[in-house]
Amino acid sequence: MKSTILMAGILAIAFFAGQADARIRNPWILVDHDLNTWSAGKSTTTHDNCPSFPVYNPADPSAFFKALHDSVCAGEHRCDIYVYSDWGGICTYARKNDYIFHGPTTYQEFPKGQRGRLMDIFDPMKYFNVFGYGYCGPVAGNMYNYYTLLGYQAQRWQLSNSAHLVCEVNYNDGWHYFDWDEGGWAADASGNVYGLAYATTHGSTWDQSPIKSAYFWSYGSDLAFIKGALASGNCSITPAPANGGGADMSFCLRIGEKMERFYEPLNASYTHPHANTPFFTPAVFGNSRLTYAPTLRSGYADYLDGIYDESNATLESDGVHLTNGYVIWAVRSPYPIYSTNATVTGTGTLLKEVHFNAGNNLYSKWELYDTLTIQENYDYLLRVSGTGVISGLNIVTIGQLRPGALPTLRPGNNNVRFNLYDNDETLTMTYVWPSHKASSADAVAASLLDNGKAIPVSVSGYCIGADRPISFERQKVADGSFSRKIAMAAEHDASFLYTHYHTCHLTQDYLNDLIVKHVFNISGGGRDSVTRTFTAEDIAGNAGVIDYTVNAGSALVQDPNYAITMEVAGGVLLTDLQNHPTYSDVSAEKGNTSALTAGLVIGPNEPNPFGRSTTINFTIGGLGAKPVTAAVYNAKGELIRVLERGAFSPGAYRTIWDGVNSRGIAVPCGVYYVRLSTPIQSATRKIVMLR
């Protein structure tokens, strides 16, 4: 059982030993041209799944920030009459399927259950994953918080009599101006991106900069506009956005739970009342559907895995028997909830109630179950109480999401990665929109108490009217222990927290099998799908990282994706679950780097130099099968072609490169590099092509 006590401004959340999870925690799917939008920190690991993306160097992030800009820059720039043709060259599909687009409104949140203030959202992960549109104001705010989350100094500026808000970031002892919204950056001949001090004195010749981004204010009249705004010389610094960042996309799948994410709305009305979502055709938003239907019978693991708390409850062959008791389930979504419907079947007198803000006197604010009250929250607790038998439970929760942040399949073969993030990353804390001012000191006081020693732990959230935004990510707990406490010291009681709990009543931290299904639209109408099942043994044996291929064959060019489903099937017998590996097996596999990496070698290619093709020999050592990628890069570090990607057992292998890129086009003569990589090691060999 969890207990939460709030008194004298201190929130203490106790994790009791002996409880463990049996869930798939934070499963994240990425295609090899996707940004990692799981969190701000995880975005810096994009190179791991997308080898063509620059490696993030915190001391010199210039290449990374340039590539990030060119990836997220407003989708309108990806039309055939502008920079290049993508999504079939149709701007409406670029607006839908890219990360962001320029919109006339901004997203706001006002969870009815919290009865707080309406707030603009300037959290970059919510920006990418939930709404993905806005004008310059929210875009600059999200940029500001993204840079500060990564530890850089940032500032926002207002140009040309409030006509345009922009943001610049400080690194390498200077300021640098990127514009996600209007679309561009400019640099000197050495590649050093200009800051606003230079830009505002060279507005009239801005388009003559030596080096420019691919999307250089290329949409419509953007270039003429920005040149005029910069040339006016009328700019002023603006305060930091009132709301911070730090949210992530963590979620867990319990036994009997399925997460479906649709790249289009399930219903055109499934959008939040405060989202101000622009209506285009096709629609620019999608929906998530989280379905939880555990088997509530003795002998099955579903109940013990899934409950949050219980009292005077006994699991029998026909259901959960209550005698003036209750069962609590936590309902959690990585996306803001549009609607939720909990259907409880059974006999006797049973009452459904909901609860928000687990950090504020947990068991004293239960309300009658009302789906409207739940709307725009990200989680809630469901309590079923009384005297009787709960024979069945089915909870269907709809959320709102941004299609461009989902795993993006393209026609043909797609290299896809499943990544199971760390156990301790399932703890999320975020502010709950109180109606009065909070102090910025609230964030500073967050700490993890470990045997009396305070260790910083991050908190996701916002303070209304704070002196500065709360904008930092939580840090990892070394061993993911459940017997720790997290304390938040607050000068004002405005800083109420709610937390996502993931304890259950199993004795071991078992892993579960996971079913992943990709559904894609095909040319000529209709849909096709590819389903992959990853067993608990697969996940543990590959250190939580599995690479696989999805052949989307004749996927529709302008709108290839329809849905991605991740499911942990219900009805798992306890006796079967006890034969599964545990999460500690994943941790051990990650930590056993000497065994995992031994003997990762690329041998001489034959012939070298070569003309039409060459055979590349490589050896995989270590223990057990592991995800391996073999790819060719040019001298600039740009990905040319992925030759192999999948699970390889220890042994000797060979692959052939025929001198063409991923599009089947012959590349010029010169020096190339073969890179062999696993999630924790890589090896490189130079090869030379002569024709």
- Domain contains 30: no
The 3-state secondary structure of 608-662, one letter per residue = CCECCCEEEEEEECCCCCEEEEEEEEECCCCEEEEEEEEEECCEEEEEEECCECC
E runs forming strands in 206-318:
211-212, 235-238, 252-253, 257-262, 286-292, 307-316
The 3-state secondary structure of 567-610, one letter per residue = EECCCCEHHHHCCCCEHHHHHHHHHCHHHHHCCCEECCCECCCE
Cβ–Cβ under 8 Å, residues 265 and 280: no
Burial status of residue 663 (CB atoms within 10 A of its CB: 0-12, 13-18, 19 or more):
exposed
Shortest CA distance to 94 belongs to which of 36, 133, 66?
Answer: 133
Give the pLDDT of residue 92: 87
Give the pLDDT of residue 393: 98
**Residue range 465-504, pLDDT digits in tens:** 333 344 545 444 333 333 222 333 333 232 333 333 445 5
Question: Which of 6-20, 324-338, 395-409, 421-435 has the least mean pLDDT?
Answer: 6-20
Give the pLDDT of residue 5: 22
Token pair of 383 as six digits: 């309590």
Average pLDDT over residues 7-28: 46
Chain centroid, CA 115 distance in Å: 27
Burial status of residue 91 (CB atoms within 10 A of its CB: 0-12, 13-18, 19 or more):
buried
Q: pLDDT > 90: what percent of the chain?
A: 36
Q: Is the pLDDT of residue 565 over 90?
A: yes
Q: Is the pLDDT of residue 437 over 50?
A: no
Cβ–Cβ under 8 Å, residues 377 and 371: no
Give the pLDDT of residue 449: 28
What lies within 8 Å, CB to CB, of 166 at 6+ separation is 136, 140, 156, 157, 159, 177, 179, 196
Average pLDDT over residues 43-47: 92
Cβ–Cβ under 8 Å, residues 287 and 400: yes
Q: What residue has token string 């002892």?
A: 173
Residues 273 and 129 in one domain: no
Cβ–Cβ under 8 Å, residues 29 and 516: yes
Shortest CA distance to 49 belongs to which of 543, 402, 415?
Answer: 415
| Spatial distance between the Cα atoms of 35 and 37, rounded to a whole number of angstroms | 6
Give the pLDDT of residue 406: 97
**Residue range 579-634, pLDDT digits in tens:** 888 877 776 656 554 444 456 788 888 888 888 899 999 888 766 677 788 888 88
Cβ–Cβ under 8 Å, residues 95 and 280: yes
Residues 226 and 304 in one domain: no
Q: Is the pLDDT of residue 309 over 70?
A: yes
Q: Find the radius of gyration of the CA atoms of the chain.
A: 26
| Spatial distance between the Cα atoms of 257 and 283, rounded to a whole number of angstroms | 27
| Spatial distance between the Cα atoms of 268 and 264, rounded to a whole number of angstroms | 9
The 3-state secondary structure of 137-174, one letter per residue = HHHHHHHHHHHHHCCCEEEEEEECCCCEEEEEEEECCE
Q: What residue has token string 């089947």?
A: 664
Residues 538 and 398 in one domain: yes
Question: Which of 111-115, 122-126, 525-529 has the least mean pLDDT?
Answer: 111-115
Average pLDDT over residues 3-27: 41
Residues 216 and 287 in one domain: no
Token pair of 120 as six digits: 């603009």
Most confident of 99-113, 331-345, 346-360: 331-345
| Spatial distance between the Cα atoms of 402 and 263, rounded to a whole number of angstroms | 8
| Spatial distance between the Cα atoms of 406 and 422, rounded to a whole number of angstroms | 20
| Spatial distance between the Cα atoms of 348 and 386, rounded to a whole number of angstroms | 8
| Spatial distance between the Cα atoms of 373 and 331, rounded to a whole number of angstroms | 14
Give the pLDDT of residue 398: 96
Q: What residue has token string 């009065």?
A: 436
Average pLDDT over residues 285-307: 95
Give the pLDDT of residue 589: 59
Question: Which of 123-127, 235-239, 663-667, 672-676 has the least mean pLDDT?
Answer: 235-239
With cut-offs at 50, 70 and 90, classify the pLDDT of residue 161.
low
Has this prediction a pTM greater than 0.85?
Answer: no
- Domain contains 35: no
Residues 145 and 278 in one domain: no
Q: Which domain holds residue 159?
A: 58-238
Measured CA distances, 597 to 92, 540, 583 (Å)? 46, 16, 21
Burial status of residue 190 (CB atoms within 10 A of its CB: 0-12, 13-18, 19 or more):
exposed
Cβ–Cβ under 8 Å, residues 487 and 447: yes
Q: Is the pLDDT of residue 292 over 90?
A: yes
Residues 147 and 70 in one domain: yes
Q: Is the pLDDT of residue 577 over 70?
A: yes
Work out how many domains the chain is built from and give that number: 4
Residues 150 and 291 in one domain: no
Indicate the helix (H) or strand (E) that contains 686: strand 681-689
Cβ–Cβ under 8 Å, residues 340 and 378: no
> Which residue, 446, 471, 497, sits at the end of a domain?
497
Token pair of 360 as six digits: 């504020």
Measured CA distances, 388 to 103, 296, 320, 333, 381 (Å)? 52, 14, 8, 29, 20
More confident residue, 508 or 18: 508
Amino acid code (one letter) for 607: P
Residues in the chain: 691
Over the chain, what is the mean pLDDT? 78
Give the pLDDT of residue 602: 86
Amino acid code (one letter) for 486: I
Token pair of 49 as six digits: 């799944």
| Spatial distance between the Cα atoms of 94 and 404, rounded to a whole number of angstroms | 9
Residues 669 and 527 in one domain: no
Shortest CA distance to 376 belongs to which of 100, 25, 40, 116?
Answer: 116
Give the pLDDT of residue 242: 60
Question: Which of 440-454, 545-559, 677-691 has the least mean pLDDT?
Answer: 440-454
Q: Is the pLDDT of residue 691 over 60?
A: yes
**Pair type for strands 413-420 and 545-551:** antiparallel
- Domain contains 27: no
Residues 145 and 222 in one domain: yes
Q: Is the pLDDT of residue 368 over 90?
A: no
| Spatial distance between the Cα atoms of 530 and 517, rounded to a whole number of angstroms | 6
Q: Which residues pair with 512 in a beta bridge?
A: none
- Domain contains 343: yes
| Spatial distance between the Cα atoms of 688 and 606, rounded to a whole number of angstroms | 11
Shortest CA distance to 235 belongs to which of 334, 168, 306, 315?
Answer: 168
Q: Is the pLDDT of residue 429 over 50?
A: no
Q: Is the pLDDT of residue 644 over 60?
A: yes
Residues 363 and 433 in one domain: no
Shortest CA distance to 376 belongs to which of 132, 171, 147, 130?
Answer: 130
Question: Which of 64-73, 392-401, 514-523 has the least mean pLDDT?
Answer: 64-73
DSSP state of 239: P
Q: Is the pLDDT of residue 203 over 80?
A: yes
> 10 Å Cβ neighbour count for 594?
9
> 10 Å Cβ neighbour count for 132?
28
DSSP state of 129: I
Q: pLDDT > 70: what percent of the chain?
A: 77
Token pair of 494 as six digits: 């405005």
Measured CA distances, 577 to 305, 420, 496, 513, 645 (Å)? 11, 19, 37, 10, 30
- Domain contains 573: yes
Burial status of residue 668 (CB atoms within 10 A of its CB: 0-12, 13-18, 19 or more):
exposed
What lies within 8 Å, CB to CB, of 14 at 6+ separation is 2, 3, 4, 485
- Domain contains 244: no
- Domain contains 417: yes
More confident residue, 168 or 481: 168
Residues 207 and 257 in one domain: no
Residues 441 and 382 in one domain: no
Give the pLDDT of residue 348: 97
- Domain contains 670: yes
Sort residue 668 into left (φ over 0), alpha (ψ -120 to 50) or beta.
beta
CATH number at residue 618: 2.60.40.1930
